[in-house]
A and B are shown apart, each in its own frame.
Chain A
């Protein structure tokens, strides 16, 4: 059983839900990302997503776009993110999932990427611009390497596509909560609960919801319908606000704890 599967099984057994914060690797520096991930795990993160920056992140809104630009300007490359993962694997026990776009993976080599990522101790990978139709070659390599390739469901996905994606996805199914790019939002999409219920009828795989989830109220609203909640832009925005200050870890750590609270067992 993979580390992701074990994590969700254990959570389900105690009726808990996963908090999955996202960090762009190297924003503001790789050393900071390392400290932030360790702090996140300490404050209750159950899984961490580590973004491998790409020059043209077309699924991302301004907050994560800026983070990627900062990371690339700081000289972050895919091999250095793999090193970061290897280092983190020695520090934290929770699953580590890469989130990126297809071109950096393709440039590195699909087999080399899958092997190196698994070897570094990463557990899964999400490729934002790789729908199941095009994922065959990478999926062959990630399966062989024991890495979970996680697919996304969107509000525009038809029932047939939801079934296809749920079948192909490993580790969990990533539900994009809204029709749009990543970013902090005031309100959740009105039809999100309907979408989550529909997906539950299709699959028994763990379901994690992301895009736009920014407050403990959002978390509380989706928690009953999902196995986990992914928080991206809200975390990255905090990092942007506090980068270079002594309060960075504390601010991000406190936010993560506040987002985790509604997901605790029995809630």
Chain B
């Protein structure tokens, strides 16, 4: 009986990919931490404790595992994209199909975990920020599933770009609150969500949507998404008997990327590449490539790379994909950039659009524009590599939400 419980706990811990980083105060080297108003410090510590308790509770894991399977559709397939591979004429490309998750993106992994945590903490109301609307839809979904109230902050600029997702959130019973401050995109939505949380912290759970923000969010979000990388490891081994040579994922705040990458960090032979939004090109200054072109700074509660001017004012990011249109990035990615374990590159709007079309025509898969960034770089990289080389691309979401944006960009 006791041995059984211990085994369950071990399995539970393995499920969440528990690792040594961050340290007790939420630091990944110099990054991360908790740079927040004092009002949020005790609530963050309380959240950290509640999460630690949930992590030790086999019932929590069992429930999360069951919902991930029966509700979200896990495990998602690992698909060998033969025609895409052929087009590249080089390395073999596999797609991790997070686009097949319930609600259409990887975001559901995190909201199920945090939603169950909010319920354990007896919070009645969820708040969230959203850029592309995917995290907002996912949060609204889990709120409906668990019978919680839900308010989603969304920049008014993004509300325009992603009207389909706005409607979906409303259908799911959430309130979408337009954010008119600053650049009216994701960064301002995070500000507003944090302001709401500062005000209603006793009753409200802030369900942050990427691997950023103050500790324990980067750790928690990483743990809930690590299921992506763990499945890839198992599936890839089953298919080929070995590990992939390359992993690629797009990086907005970094949640799908760290989820795919984290279980492979110790596997030194696996090369890990994050793909940022190059927007109109790094040289134009209009992009979302914080790791490639930013400097160390503090935004939204943690230290990381940040797009900013010389005076420490946060820059407005640009990307054709709302989900990558963010001037910061999660602290764990910053840490592994500095150690050299992860590499970061960027892909322009135009290249992402081309990859969106290629994947649609060659494989019958319309990727989210965010994910199309990773596909674009994979196609570039594959050309220079041999057929014996295997790469796995995190296909973080599906492109239905982007059809209007793509149609406008293609002038059709």
Interface, chain A (partner B; CB < 8 A):
54-59, 61-62, 65, 69, 72, 77-78, 101-108, 128-131, 133-134, 151-158, 161, 165, 176, 179-181
Residue B289 interfacial (CB < 8 Å): no
Chain B residues, CB < 8 A from A78: 311-312
| Sample (13) of A-B pairs whose CB atoms are under 8 Å apart | A57-B191, A58-B300, A69-B181, A103-B314, A104-B311, A104-B312, A104-B313, A106-B312, A134-B33, A154-B37, A157-B38, A157-B42, A180-B39
Does B25 belong to the interface (CB within 8 Å)? yes
Give the distance in Å from the alpha carbon of A107 to the alpha carbon of B311 in the complex: 6
- Say yes or no: A106 contacts B297, CB within 8 Å: yes
Beta-carbon contact of A157 and B41 below 8 Å? yes
Measuring CB to CB, which residues of chain B are less than 8 angstroms from any residue of chain A?
25, 33-43, 181-182, 187-188, 191, 194-195, 198-199, 201-202, 295-301, 306, 308, 310-314
Specify which of A54, A77, A107, A153 lies most central, judged by the most chain B CB atoms within 10 Å of its CB. A107
- Interface contact A103-B38, CB-CB below 8 Å: no
CB-based nearest B residue for A153: B38
- 8 A-B pairs with least C-beta separation: A107-B312, A104-B312, A154-B39, A180-B199, A154-B38, A55-B313, A59-B37, A103-B312
B194 x A179 contact (CB < 8 A): no
Cβ A103 vs Cβ B298 within 8 A: yes
CB-based A-B contact count at 8 angstroms: 119
Chain A minimum-CB-distance residue to B192: A58
- Contact between B311 and A179, CB atoms less than 8 A apart: no
Known A58-B300, A107-B310; further 10 A-B contacts with Cβ < 8 A: A57-B191, A59-B195, A78-B312, A102-B298, A103-B306, A131-B35, A134-B35, A156-B202, A179-B39, A181-B195
Residue of B with least CB distance to A100: B312
List residues of chain B with CB within 8 A of the CB of A129. 35-37, 298, 301
Tell me the bound Cα distance from A128 to B194 in angstroms: 13
By the criterion CB–CB under 8 Å, are B41 and A161 in contact? yes
B residues less than 8 Å from A77 (CB atoms): 311
- Which residues from A are CB-within-8-Å of B201? 156, 179
Q: Given A55-B314, A129-B35, check contact A107 B194 (CB 8 Å).
A: no
B198 CB contact (under 8 Å) in A130, A161, A181: A181
Rounded to whole angstroms, the CA-CA distance of A180 and B295 in the bound complex is 30
Kindly name the residue among A103, A108, A161, A180 whose own CB sees the greatest number of chain B CB atoms within 10 A: A103
Complex alpha-carbon distance, A204 and B279, angstroms: 55
Among B34, B198, B299, which residue has its beta carbon within 8 angstroms of that of A131? Answer: B34
- Pairwise interchain contact A58-B39, C-beta atoms closer than 8 A: no
Q: How far is the CA of A187 from the CA of B325 in the complex (A)?
A: 39
Instruction: Indicate if the CB atoms of A155 and B299 lie closer than 8 Å.
Output: no
Q: Main secondary structure on chain B at its contact with chain A?
A: mixed
Q: Which of B194, B198, B202 has the most CB of A within 10 A?
A: B198
Closest to A53 in B: B313
* CB-defined contacts of A158 to chain B, threshold 8 Å: 42
Q: Which residue of A lies closest to B26 (CB)?
A: A133
In the complex, the answer to whether A54 meets B313 with C-beta atoms within 8 Å is yes
Residues in B whose Cβ lies below 8 Å from that of A128: 37
Q: Which residues of B contact A134 (CB under 8 A)?
A: 33-35
B196 to chain A, nearest CB (A): 9
Q: How distant is the Cα of A17 from the Cα of B312 in the complex, in angstroms? A: 35
Contacts of A176 in B (CB 8 A): 37-39
Closest chain-A Cβ to B126's Cβ sits at a distance in Å of 18
Q: Which one of A55, A105, A106, A180 has the highest number of Cβ atoms from chain B below 10 Å of its Cβ? A: A55
Q: Find out whether the CB atom of B297 lies under 8 angstroms from the CB atom of A107.
A: yes
Return B120 CB to nearest CB of chain A, in Å: 20
Residues in chain A near residue B314, CB distance under 8 A: 55-56, 103
- Bound CA–CA A180/B298 (angstroms): 21
The minimal Cβ–Cβ distance linking B363 to chain A, given in whole angstroms, is 40
Given contacts A103-B314, A129-B35, A179-B199, contact A58 B42 (CB under 8 A): no
Task: Please determine whether A131 and B182 come into contact, CB atoms closer than 8 angstroms.
Answer: no
Distance from B344 Cβ to chain A, minimum over Cβ atoms (Å): 21
A151/B39 in contact, CB under 8 A = no
CA A61 – CA B192 in complex, angstroms? 9
Q: Are B182 and A133 in contact (CB under 8 A)?
A: no
Highest count of chain A CB atoms <10 Å: which of B34, B35, B187, B306:
B35
- Once the chains bind, are B191 and A165 in contact (CB under 8 Å)? no
Q: Is the CB of B42 within 8 A of A107?
A: no
Contacts known (A58-B195, A179-B198); A108 close to B312, Cβ less than 8 A: yes
Give B183's nearest chain A residue, CB to CB.
A55
Q: Are A59 and B198 in contact (CB under 8 A)?
A: yes
Chain A residues whose CB sits within 8 angstroms of the CB of B43 once the complex forms: 156
Interchain CA distance A128-B313 in the complex, whole Å: 15
Q: How far is the CA of A69 from the CA of B310 in the complex (A)?
A: 17
Q: How many Å lie between the Cα of A154 and that of B43 in the bound state?
A: 11
Give bound CA distance, A101 to B35, whole Å.
9
Residues in A neighbouring B194, C-beta threshold 8 A:
58
| B38 and A58 within 8 A (CB) | no
Q: How far is the CB of B310 from chain A (nearest CB, A)?
A: 7
A78 to B313, CA, bound (A): 10
Task: Give Cα distance in the complex from A134 to B198, angstroms.
Answer: 19
Question: Chain A residues near B296 (CB, 8 Å)?
Answer: 106
Asked if B310 and A152 sit within 8 Å, CB to CB, the answer is no
Q: How far is the CB of A182 from chain B (nearest CB, A)?
A: 10
Determine if A133 and B25 form an interchain contact, defined as CB atoms under 8 angstroms apart. Answer: yes
A155 to B312, CA, bound (A): 30
